């Protein structure tokens, strides 16, 4: 043990001293608090310490692995030697509190609050409409705030880099970046010109708009200035402590782990000799996730960050020495300074390393992750190790036996991480040499997302030529991602020495590399072929880079590369997007006090930005509260033989284990033939099904005990995982649905052409930022229970909980203040999880909190349905489509959930914007052994609509017409009927199409793209314009009924409540706008508290974009009832004010409380006849998107998107435009990025932001324009508005088809057959495979190719 090292107690500190900004204690305002934690547990992360110990709940749990940025805080440290204070952002979920000794932590509460002052960052983010659900907002605030503390006038590049580690699922990032631009010194605001014209936009006609239209969603004049002198100072106590106290070894004992932080290298060497297996932890970005997610356990952890030798930065005559404990951010700064000061010839290795550091993780990760940790971990997915190895970097190792230097490449010499570093050795520093004359070095990576994503393949390559020649003297090629660690193509490099840098060498090298680097075909990610292609493609890019460099050195001897190849040498960069939003101004006659139609800030926007907005897990703990951790099935289909909880019950802090036997009443809910199940009893039907749950005194204890529950299974057959499996076994949920219109078979006999095809569309994870959350509190009498839950449907939660407990619904009070995102994912599953928590609360008679981890949430809850569409299309040679026969299969999972309804919507909306005279389509909901899939924004239309647009595009290819021409030919053009005989007027569809054509300058840009593609071989651009008809309606009247309750108090203030849920769509803000107009009072008089089953019973779910439509009608009804009662008093005293009238009404005993009610929209659908009126009205829209692809890697860049949407008369343009943009970016994710991967056993492998990539700042279009169609009326909804939350998602497929357009150009240029299939998501892997060339042909051992791409070099 550690005692063997004979520590003198006087030199060992056992208490952890930290300063926290933003603490509120009792009546005291927010202030700095010195925290001395005497029993600091090494397993306690800062996030949970802040939230549970200090009650600073502004810092959010989003993923627990440093991948989403919701928990971002600012860490400040003082360096006595330099007298400098360093501020940096970090993920609180990865920082052990033990690592923060002597540091200051600033949380969002410490930045500003409504109780003290609001900081400009918080104010601008809110007023620029940069929050919707608001859950990610505190993290955004902290990333921006930290940047401004270091750079009060940042560049736009610094700003986008600062946000690379933060994810948002709601906004689409544009309004967040708008707020950021107001701080940037190089900001060019589109609204700064007198004529309102964006100087960065070259299309004049985008702004040829009527005077009635507006482009400003916020007024910069309202912002308070940023004054850096007003920021909190670094705590003087910590300065004195750093300067005066001698550094002491820190030792912290937790329940299971000892943490030791030595202060000298000698001490560290002694520790490693005594504990050779103990890991060294600096930033905890490697060891932390391993222990948290992968079951790795280390009883002793050594933290060497305070040892001077490990923090050295030294410039040598032949290179740089950087300490192993130096952060990657510090390394980046050091290298950047060296590059700016040294001759270019010496800094080629530095530049290559900087290239990788630019996109490695987010700022929060780079700020704490250490250089040494990156090297020693030997992770396959390292961005740095390949380039450091190729660059001949040296490692300085130390142990009790002395010091030695070894080449970094040695630890990867045998390709599987040869253990040349002894367990007792410590990596002290890394020597990065200067590059030499005639030496060229490059680094490469390709990842699922350009920033903050682990690479699929990374590479480092270096060549040294004999002086004055292109003859290879030395060559190094290293790859990451190809094996279990970094791997060297050693034999290839040795063979090529002496070769000249020409096409013959390239051809030989490509074949040698492929033979030497052998990838396992059974990798879970299924990317073996793509990785092989990347391995040779990246070497080819290196080949081109070196050729071009040789030309620069000696243009007479080296011709370089053809001009059309040059663009491939430039990687895609993230730029600050430019945008414009156009909406209709309110009438001049409208009262200034009337807020309807104005861009009003989200009612909770400021509270989102200050962290004061309360979500379920922010509710203060209740005395005796228990935490719940669920135990889930590890088998897809099996009989439960036994459940052994004995070991779990022995764990510390465990209170009880809850099983199906503890459910007092209903455990299975039969909404259809197959039940929805709370706890599995006798068998499991998917991986992730809840078998039992452990209740303990902390989440950590509950989780540790849950891992000790042992379940014995007996396999059952069949195990059905895919749609193909379900078809094979005839496994479907009933009923199957069919729609038929016209005479399909006869029409096929008369058409000119017939095409048949199939498209596969992957599922999508909701990835709401707030995971499923429940707090169930027994009230102690009459079996009453308060249930606080993150849900879209409180009445349904109430019903399920009451049924499971066997009590009347009136005993269950369900409360929802706000939800941190839902997108359809918090309906039935939220009810099951609320029942789990409520059953536990009922059994233990304690309050029970169930907050799913991100991994458990993704494993348990399901998402958008994976989909296969099969189609047969008959069309004429002029592009007219005459007949379609289609079959749709959706993967419903193991229980019905909403799957049959989703299948029905697929059929009803499959026509999108097109009149199809003869149509037959079937929809099947497949029953499989996956977690049941559920509602998701768009509800089936994003899948069936993509199928339709796919065959539209294929018809264009077959006829030789352009896709936009085929779309125009077949679009609804006049008053017509849909395929289910509902009337529609497509006038606004045509208007959206024409306006988008005009505003996007489609045809002139298409011409420019064609010219670009002629001049660039390895990069291509594509453009697509896609129309949309989105029917609105919930299918039945009872599903769209709504109620509201409005109280007026004697001081004139108004309390408003209704049945809608605030999910981020701004419904409460809009309802206050409605009440303000109807009562003719300022919005400031009106307050919304919460949605609760105690105030509005039997409320329908907040789904289907209907929240504002139906609840707005109910609020209007209640307000009109009140106003009618007040009217006689107002008439008697017309010059009085609101407060006078209310006081008089009370004195006259006039009721100041009213309910409002809306019966719902009449709707019907007869599936037997295949006709009905299931929808109330239609939204229309068009999106035009332009992209650029890299044909060598499959990477792409979204260049520009223009959207025109018909949403009637917007109640709040800022909220509505934000909804359109957020939905569109979620659509980009669905169609191009988000990939769910399952193992052959049915286990979801993509269970967090590390493996599952949603769009980030780098993925939104560089130019993003949204225009609301003017002069649009809708007689069916409140104030002529339209429900629009879902519609914009489908328009994301314009990016999919722009990518297809670029790929088509590649294939045409290369003489490839025209017919090709693209599935969704259209990832880099698919793009690369579709851009067939000699490298892809090598994967299939196709030696017949005659058109070697590099052979074209001498043609120019």
Cα angle: 978, vertex 979, 982; to 5 degrees: 40
Quick one: tokens of 442? Answer: 């490059």
Query: Residues 84-90: contacts with CB within 8 Å, 24+ apart?
Result: 85/234, 87/146, 87/149, 87/150, 88/146, 88/327, 88/329, 88/363, 88/367, 88/368, 89/142, 89/143, 89/146, 89/147, 89/162, 89/165, 89/363, 89/364, 89/367, 90/364, 90/367, 90/368
- Whole-angstrom distance, CA of residue 552 vs CA of residue 1095: 75
Eight-state DSSP code of residue 1279:
G
Q: Are 734 and 788 in contact (CB under 8 A)?
A: no
Question: Nearest 10 degrees: CA dihedral of 581, 585, 586, 589?
Answer: 160
Picking from 1174, 743, 751, 1178, the residue whose alpha carbon sits closest to that of residue 917 is: 743
Name the region of 624 (left: φ>0; alpha: ψ -120 to 50; beta: rest): left
What is the rounded end-to-end Cα distance, in angstroms, of the chain? 72
Contact 126, 110 (CB under 8 A): no
- Residue the block writes with tokens 């009546």: 27
Tell me the H-state helices in 1133-1235.
Answer: 1138-1147, 1213-1232
How far apart, in whole angstroms, are the C-alpha atoms of residue 536 and residue 547? 16
User: Is the previous residue joined to 718 through a cis bond, with omega within 30 degrees of 0?
Assistant: yes
C-beta of residue 932 within 8 angstroms of C-beta of residue 894 = yes
Alpha helices per DSSP H over 1268-1345: 1293-1309, 1324-1330, 1334-1339
Contact between residue 931 and residue 686 where contact means Cβ atoms under 8 Å apart: yes
CA 476 – CA 391 distance, rounded (Å) = 8
Pick the catalytic residue: 344, 1286, 1343, 1355? 1286
**What's the token pair of residue 1270?**
């003017």
568-579 burial: b if 16+ Cβ within 10 Å, else e: bbebbebebbbb
Distance CA 1200, CA 1209 (A): 26
C-alpha triplet 378, 329, 45: angle, nearest 5° = 75
Measured distance CA(90)–CA(134) in Å, rounded: 20
Distance CA 1044, CA 1097 (A): 10
Separation CA 827–CA 796 (nearest Å) = 8
Q: Specify whether 1286 is catalytic.
A: yes
3-state DSSP call for residue 77?
strand
Q: Which two tokens stand for residue 694?
A: 């452990």
User: What does the CA dihedral 746, 748, 749, 755 come to, rounded to 10 degrees?
Assistant: -170
Alpha-carbon Rg for the chain in angstroms: 32
Please count the residues of the chain: 1356
Closest to 913 (Cα-Cα) out of 407, 1340, 1336, 1294: 1294
Q: At what angle do helices 137-150 and 120-127 cross, to 10 degrees?
A: 130
- Residue 1340, class by beta-carbon neighbours within 10 Å (0-12 exposed, 13-18 middle, 19+ buried)? exposed
How many beta carbons lie within 10 A of that of residue 4, not counting itself? 9
Catalytic residue positions, numbered: 1286
């Amino acid at each position: 043990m550690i005692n063997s090292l004979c520590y003198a107690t006087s030199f060992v500190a056992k208490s952890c001293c930290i300063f926290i900004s933003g603490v509120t204690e009792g009546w005291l305002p927010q202030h700095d608090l010195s925290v001395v934690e005497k029993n600091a547990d090494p397993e306690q992360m800062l996030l949970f310490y802040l939230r549970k110990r200090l009650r600073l709940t502004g810092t959010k749990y989003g993923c627990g692995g440093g991948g989403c940025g919701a928990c971002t805080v600012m860490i400040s440290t003082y360096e006595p030697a330099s007298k400098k204070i360093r501020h940096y952002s970090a993920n609180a979920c990865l920082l052990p509190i033990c690592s923060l000794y002597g540091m200051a932590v600033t949380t969002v509460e410490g930045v500003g609050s409504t109780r003290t002052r609001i900081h400009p960052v918080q104010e601008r983010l809110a007023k620029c409409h940069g929050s919707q659900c608001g859950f990610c907002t505190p993290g955004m605030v902290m990333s921006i705030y930290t940047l401004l503390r270091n750079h009060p006038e940042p560049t736009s590049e610094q700003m986008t880099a600062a946000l690379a580690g933060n994810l948002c699922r709601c906004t689409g990032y544009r309004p967040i970046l708008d707020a950021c631009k107001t701080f940037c010194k190089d900001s060019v605001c589109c609204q700064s010109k007198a004529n309102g014209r964006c100087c960065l936009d070259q299309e004049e006609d985008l702004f040829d708009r009527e005077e009635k239209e507006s482009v400003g969603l916020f007024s910069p004049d309202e912002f308070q200035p940023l004054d850096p002198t007003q920021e909190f100072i670094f705590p003087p106590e910590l300065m004195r402590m750093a300067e005066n106290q001698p550094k002491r070894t820190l030792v912290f004992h937790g329940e299971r782990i000892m943490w030791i932080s030595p202060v000298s290298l000698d001490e560290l060497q002694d520790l490693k000799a005594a504990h050779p297996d103990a890991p060294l932890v600096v930033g905890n970005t490697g060891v932390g996730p391993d222990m948290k997610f992968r079951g790795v356990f280390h009883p002793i952890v050594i933290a060497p960050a305070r040892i001077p030798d490990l923090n050295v930065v030294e410039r040598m005559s032949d290179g740089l020495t950087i300490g192993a404990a130096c952060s990657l951010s510090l390394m980046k700064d050091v290298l950047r300074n060296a590059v700016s000061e040294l001759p270019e010839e010496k800094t080629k290795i530095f530049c290559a390393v900087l290239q990788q550091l630019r996109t490695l993780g987010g700022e929060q990760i780079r700020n704490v992750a250490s250089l040494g940790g990156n090297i020693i971990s030997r992770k396959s997915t390292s961005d740095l190790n390949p380039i450091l190895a190729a660059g001949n970097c040296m490692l300085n190792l130390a142990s009790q036996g002395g010091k030695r230097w070894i080449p970094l490449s040695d630890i990867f010499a045998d390709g599987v991480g040869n253990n040349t570093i002894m367990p007792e050795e410590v990596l002290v520093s890394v020597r990065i040499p200067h590059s030499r004359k005639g030496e060229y070095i490059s680094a490469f990576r390709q990842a699922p997302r350009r920033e903050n994503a682990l690479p699929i393949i990374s590479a480092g390559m270096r060549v040294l030529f004999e002086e004055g020649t292109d003859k290879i003297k030395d060559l190094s090629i290293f790859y990451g991602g190809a094996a279990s660690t970094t791997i060297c193509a050693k034999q290839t490099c040795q063979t090529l020495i002496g070769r000249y840098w020409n096409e013959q060498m390239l051809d030989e090298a490509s074949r040698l590399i492929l033979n030497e680097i052998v990838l396992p075909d059974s990798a879970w990610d299924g990317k073996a072929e793509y990785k092989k292609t990347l391995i040779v493609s990246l070497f080819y890019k290196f080949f081109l880079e070196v050729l071009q460099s040789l030309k620069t050195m000696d243009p007479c001897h080296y011709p370089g590369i053809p001009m059309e190849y040059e663009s491939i040498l430039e990687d895609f960069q993230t730029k600050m997007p430019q945008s414009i939003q156009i909406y209709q101004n309110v009438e001049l006659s409208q009262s200034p006090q009337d807020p309807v139609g104005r861009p009003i800030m989200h009612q909770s926007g400021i509270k989102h930005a200050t962290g004061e907005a309360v979500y379920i897990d922010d509710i203060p703990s209740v005395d005796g509260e228990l935490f719940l951790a669920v135990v889930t099935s590890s088998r897809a289909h099996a009989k439960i033989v036994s459940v052994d909880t004995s070991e779990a019950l022995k764990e510390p802090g465990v209170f009880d284990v809850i099983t199906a036997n503890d459910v007092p009443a209903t455990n299975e809910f039969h909404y259809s033939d197959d039940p929805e199940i709370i706890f599995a009893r006798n068998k499991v039907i998917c991986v992730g099904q809840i078998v039992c749950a452990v209740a303990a005194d902390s989440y950590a204890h509950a989780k540790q005990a849950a891992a000790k529950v042992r379940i014995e299974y007996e396999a059952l057959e069949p195990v059905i995982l895919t749609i193909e499996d379900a078809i094979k076994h005839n496994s479907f949920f009933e009923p199957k649905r069919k729609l038929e219109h016209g005479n399909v078979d006869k029409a096929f006999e008369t058409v000119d052409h017939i095409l048949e095809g199939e498209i596969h569309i992957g599922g999508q994870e909701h990835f709401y930022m707030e995971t499923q959350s429940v707090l169930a509190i027994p009230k102690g009498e009459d079996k009453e229970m308060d249930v606080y839950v993150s849900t879209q449907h409180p009445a349904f939660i109430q019903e399920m909980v009451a049924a499971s407990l066997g009590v009347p619904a009136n005993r269950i009070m369900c409360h929802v203040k706000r939800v941190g995102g839902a997108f359809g994912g918090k309906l039935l599953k939220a009810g099951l999880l609320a029942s789990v928590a409520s059953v536990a609360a009922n059994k233990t008679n304690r309050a029970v909190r169930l907050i799913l981890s991100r991994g458990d949430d993704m494993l348990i809850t399901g998402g958008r349905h994976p989909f296969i569409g099969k189609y047969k299309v008959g069309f004429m040679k002029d592009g007219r489509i005459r007949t379609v026969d289609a079959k749709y299969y959706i993967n419903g999972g193991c229980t019905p959930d909403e799957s049959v309804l989703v299948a029905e919507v697929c059929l009803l909306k499959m026509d999108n914007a097109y009149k199809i005279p003869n149509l037959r389509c079937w929809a099947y909901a497949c029953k499989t052994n996956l977690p049941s899939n559920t509602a998701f924004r768009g509800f089936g239309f994003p899948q069936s609509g993509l199928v339709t647009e796919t065959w539209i595009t294929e018809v264009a290819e077959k006829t030789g017409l352009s896709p936009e021409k085929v779309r125009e030919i077949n679009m609804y053009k006049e008053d017509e009927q849909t395929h289910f005989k509902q009337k529609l007027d497509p006038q606004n569809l045509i208007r959206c199409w024409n306006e988008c054509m005009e505003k996007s300058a489609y045809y002139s840009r298409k011409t420019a793209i064609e010219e670009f593609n002629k001049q660039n071989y390895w990069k291509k651009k594509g453009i697509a314009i896609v129309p949309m008809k989105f029917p609105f309606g919930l299918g039945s009247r009872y599903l769209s009924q709504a109620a509201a309750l409005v109280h007026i108090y004697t001081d004139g203030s108004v309390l408003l409540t209704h049945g809608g849920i605030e999910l981020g769509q701004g419904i409460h803000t809009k309802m206050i706008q409605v009440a303000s107009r109807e009562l003719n009072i300022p919005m400031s008089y009106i307050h919304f508290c919460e949605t609760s089953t105690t105030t509005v019973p039997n409320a329908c779910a907040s789904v289907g974009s209907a929240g504002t439509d139906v609840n707005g009608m109910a609020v209007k009804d209640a307000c009109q009832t009140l106003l009618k009662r007040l009217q006689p008093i107002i008439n008697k005293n017309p010059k009085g004010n609101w407060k006078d009238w209310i006081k008089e009404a009370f004195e006259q005993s006039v009721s100041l409380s009213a309910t409002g009610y809306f019966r719902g929209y009449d709707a019907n659908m007869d599936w037997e006849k295949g006709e009905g009126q299931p929808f109330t009205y239609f939204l229309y829209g068009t999106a035009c998107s332009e992209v650029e692809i890299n044909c060598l890697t499959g990477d792409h860049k979204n260049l520009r998107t223009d959207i025109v949407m018909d949403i009637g008369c917007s109640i709040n343009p800022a909220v509505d435009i934000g909804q359109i943009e957020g939905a569109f970016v979620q659509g980009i994710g669905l169609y191009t990025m988000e990939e769910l991967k399952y193992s052959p056993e049915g286990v979801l492998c993509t269970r967090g932001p590390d493996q599952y990539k949603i769009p980030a700042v780098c993925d939104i279009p560089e130019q993003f324009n949204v225009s609301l169609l003017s002069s649009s009326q809708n007689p069916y909804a409140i104030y002529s508005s339209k429900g629009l939350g879902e519609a914009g998602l489908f328009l994301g497929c314009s990016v999919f088809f722009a990518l297809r357009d670029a790929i088509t150009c590649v294939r045409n240029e290369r003489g490839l057959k025209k017919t090709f299939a693209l599935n969704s998501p259209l990832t880099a892997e698919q793009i690369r495979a579709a851009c067939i060339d000699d490298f892809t042909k090598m994967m299939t051992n196709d030696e017949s190719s005659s058109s070697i791409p590099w052979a074209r070099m001498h043609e120019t």
